[in-house]
Structure 1
Amino acid sequence: MKTLDTSAKGVYLITVTPFTDSGALDLASTDRMVDFCLDKGVTGLTILGIMGEATKLTAEESRAYARQVLARVAGRVPVVVGVSSPGFAAMSELTQSVMDLGASGVMVAPPSTLRTDEQIAAYFAMVDETLGPQVPWCLQDHPVSTGVQMSAGVILRILKNSPGCVMLKHEDWPGLAKLSAIRAASDKGEVRRVSILTGNGGGLFLPEELTRGADGAMTGFAYPEMMVDVVAAHARGEVERAHDLFDAYLPLARYEQQAGVGLAVRKHLFQQRGVIASAFVRKPGPKLSAQDVADIARLVRRQDRRLRELG
């Protein structure tokens, strides 16, 4: 398995966690989902994230799911595992377990109790010390879910003080100015250059973020080929093509990013595409109405038509 490093780029898809209709882990669907994502050309996978319902899993389920994904991937692409925890003992234990199974690195978000820049910087200094020099990690900046606001300045401070941090998962919204500031700092040599993968709202600002210097995307969407194709077109210098492809998927991506119901939409689409057997979302979680399902079907039809027009 390739170790995560600062050169990471492309699309690291945030996976859902498949369950059966009764709410148990569905490991057969997990295998199908891994195969599907790799067939669509993703560069890597990220598991046990916020949209992976990580907080709804037991510690043993988290390990079992990670074990299944890593076994199915079998070293073909890097796998990053979310290990965020208020306590360092639990974080360290899960990190050691998944790294032993073949993970490429781990991802850590700040706990909601952090308020000041000093607290944030001190916390991530402890993260770096706890994980140790052999474990590369990704800093997740997602204030919508964590409630923790990290300025560009405090992120640069973390990067300077944490040699193990090789990647920023940039999810602040609006965040284009922050992304530009962090890239400008590394371009000037004020801080080492790390990989920046963006996760804003399922990629709702992906073309603009790529233009601002992002190395790719780390987020989820029921059509991962959108992000793969947009990132590839942008890398070839075909910026207008990247925007055209992105625009074709945007209405459905927007619908999938509704607060509260978004995960149910994504799982419904994955079920419709034959990727997972059940769209079950563990409690507390949303359920789709008949009107929601009709909306989604219309958006998919329109998306298919637009993609045919684009060729």
Structure 2
Amino acid sequence: MQSLQECRERLHGIFNITVTPFTATGEFDYAAMAENIERVIALGYDGLLIGGTYGEFPVMSTTERADMFRKVMDIVGDRVPVMLCTAGSDSRVVRELTQLAGDLGGLPMVTPPYVSEITDAQIVAFFKEMAPLSKTGILIYNAPGIGITLSVSVIEQLAAIEGVVGLKQGDLTPTVIDRIANKLGGKVRLFCASDLVFSGPMMAGFDGISSTNSGALPELILATFRAIQNGDAKRAIELHRLWFPLRELARKHGQPQTTKAIMNLRGFKGGSVRHPLLDLQGEALEEVAAALRALAQDPRSSVVLPA
């Protein structure tokens, strides 16, 4: 993408949150990442999100993150839009990565700087500083997991900043979603940050979702999303219910380790997580494997396991 206008036009649909496959010793496996990217593009995903929270950016150096941005954009080219997570607690790092992401043709995804006792006014000032750095604009990520939850009133202020093209919303409280959808719909692109409960935001008028579990269950989650897009709520609910046991295990054992475990069980290249996260093993891995086998036995899921 080369401009704000192009970004606004292309920013919609289902985006795969691409896991970062590490080797057992913690090295990047770019061949595996390329294979996973090609899989979801071939299936018809609308875009990618690289280096997010579930892409394990907090355990990467700034240099590693920048290298990953360059390599991914070389792989993808301009085939689909790519969100590149530039979040950080050090504004100097955020500035460097945000400018790079825009220069590469990606869309920088920026969280508030997660430092203690930052005020709303300081958060607004921070986004005003970052937005002009990228020719494609920036995407706000309201990520409660970092310890800061943006209120609707602050999000409205941020959405009015020139260069803010979208919001990835992690606070999925129904009343909050209702207010955001009706106050900001049509002004900026709205994305649901979780594939665990995306039907509500989409029905409220959001423009798209980002999905971690689509790395593990790409066919099923894509089919569910397309059913909602096509107005077939009954089918969407039916498909979404199929993988509830795996959603429960993801909540129990954590992400991205559960997604990577499922990918590896399917013969995909999920790789390992980096410390301090630990790969699923023993009883936890068997729980996931059993739920995956049960899902694959249901022909509605389209999930196929290796022989």
Fold match, TM over 0.5?
A: yes
* Mapping for residues 152-191 of structure 1, pairs under 5 Å: 152-160=152-160, 162-173=161-172, 175-186=173-184
Q: Name 2:221's counterpart in structure 1.
A: 227
Q: How large is the Cα RMSD of the aligned pairs?
A: 2.2
> CA–CA distance in 2 between the matches of 1:61 and 1:238?
42
Q: Name 1:207's counterpart in structure 2.
A: 199
Q: Name 2:58's counterpart in structure 1.
A: 55
| Match status 1:302 vs 2:300 | no
Aligned residue identity for 1:95 = T
Q: Name 1:148's counterpart in structure 2.
A: 148
Q: Name 1:76's counterpart in structure 2.
A: 79
> Is 1:112–1:147's contact at 8 Å kept on the other side of the alignment?
yes
| Match status 1:266 vs 2:251 | no
Between 118-127 and 297-306, the greater mean CA deviation after superposition: 118-127
Please give the per-residue CA displacement for 1:32-62, whole angstroms capped at 9, x wherever unaligned: 1111121232110011101111121122221
> CA–CA distance in 2 between the matches of 1:9 and 1:138?
12
15, 20, 39: which one aligns with 2:18: 15
Aligned residue identity for 2:110 = V
> Deviation of residue 157 (structure 1)?
1.4
> Is 1:44–1:79's contact at 8 Å kept on the other side of the alignment?
yes
Aligned residue identity for 1:195 = R
> CA–CA distance in 1 between the matches of 2:297 and 2:9?
39
> CA–CA distance in 2 between the matches of 1:54 and 1:308?
35
> Deviation of residue 183 (structure 1)?
1.7
Aligned residue identity for 1:306 = D
> CA–CA distance in 2 between the matches of 1:93 and 1:216?
27
161, 168, 187: which one aligns with 1:193: 187
> CA–CA distance in 1 between the matches of 2:40 and 2:105?
18
Task: Call closer, same or farther: CA 1:149–1:267 in 2, change over 3 Å.
Answer: same
> CA–CA distance in 1 between the matches of 2:42 and 2:298?
22
> Deviation of residue 250 (structure 1)?
2.2
58, 61, 70: which one aligns with 1:67: 70
Aligned residue identity for 1:286 = L
| Match status 1:254 vs 2:248 | yes
> Is 2:95–2:130's contact at 8 Å kept on the other side of the alignment?
no
Aligned residue identity for 1:184 = N
> Is 2:18–2:49's contact at 8 Å kept on the other side of the alignment?
yes
| Match status 1:119 vs 2:122 | yes
> Deviation of residue 8 (structure 1)?
2.0
Aligned residue identity for 1:152 = V
Between 42-51 and 227-236, the greater mean CA deviation after superposition: 227-236
Q: Which runs of 5+ in 1 are unaligned?
A: none
> Deviation of residue 273 (structure 1)?
2.3
> CA–CA distance in 1 between the matches of 2:295 and 2:10?
33
> Deviation of residue 6 (structure 1)?
6.0
> CA–CA distance in 2 between the matches of 1:99 and 1:112?
22
> Deviation of residue 7 (structure 1)?
5.8
Give % identity.
27
Aligned residue identity for 1:176 = P
Q: Name 1:108's counterpart in structure 2.
A: 110
> Deviation of residue 179 (structure 1)?
1.5
